[in-house]
Amino acid sequence: MNKRERSFRAEAVVLRHSDWGEADRMLTLYTRQMGKVRAIAKGVRKVRSRKSGHLEPFTRVNLQLARGRDLFIVTQAEAVDTYLGLRDNLVRVGYASYIVELLDRFTYDEDENPSLFRLLTDSLMRLDQESDPVLAIRYYEIRLLDQLGYRPELFRCVKCDAEIRPEDQYFSAAQGGVVCPRCGSSTPEARPVSMQALKYLRHFQRSAYEEARRVNLTPSINREMEQLMQHYLTYLLERGLNTPSFLKHVGAS
């Protein structure tokens, strides 16, 4: 796509929207062609608008976008997948919100990344179809970090470079990975991580989803991985996320 074109087609996922003026909406979109963009959908809040049902959050949509003075303008919208299976379940809606919040917080406008778009749509599809969405969320977190350049080191100590042995370890968000027991005692910010949780994180980091989904993730290990990832993500973002508290409220964790 030529970014100078005045009007062009784009495939996107609606991350969120907010009211704009009397009848319009401001959309935050993640597109396959341009990464994250913001666009105005004119008249979409009117009762007779044909575009409104195609522009709800978590919808995958084909768009015709025109360049306005400051923002893109949505001139056509056609839903490709609305992921209906996740919309009637508050826990799945919470997980979808978590997925898009992470992507929104970590990305900049018009920073093209087709691999991130694929990870987003694949993850929404898994939330829509999987009987238990928890594993898809843990997989999304570790793969998102890979795509963004924040891949945690899980195989060697980030302080002494020793190979990690099959025993409980530590994890340092500040240093971006696992700290061995010998170095952990002198690393105040490091937090314990069990070898079992570390084994799953390693597996997700190096496996395709079809292989990763075969594991039996127990509730206790899932909680440990969730807490570790929240700790690391909060450190990277330098602030907390909004959706984890909603997920706790609806009983997701």
Give burial (CB, 10 Å; 0-12/13-18/19+) of 54.
Answer: buried
Mean pLDDT estimate for the chain: 91
Range 122-143 average pLDDT: 94
Question: Residue 153 gets which letter from DSSP?
Answer: B
Mean pLDDT of 181-204: 95
pLDDT exceeds 60 at position 25: yes
pLDDT value at residue 252: 65
Structural tokens at position 96: 């979808």
What domains can be seen in the chain, in order of their start residue?
7-81 (2.40.50.140), 85-249 (1.20.1440.120)
**Which residue is listed with tokens 């784009």?**
10
- Average pLDDT value for residue range 54-75: 90
82-98 mean pLDDT: 91
In sequence order, the 6+-apart residues with CB closer than 8 A to the CB of 94 are 243, 246, 247, 250, 252
- Which pLDDT value is given to residue 54? 76
Q: Which of the pair, 12 or 244, is modelled with greater confidence?
A: 12
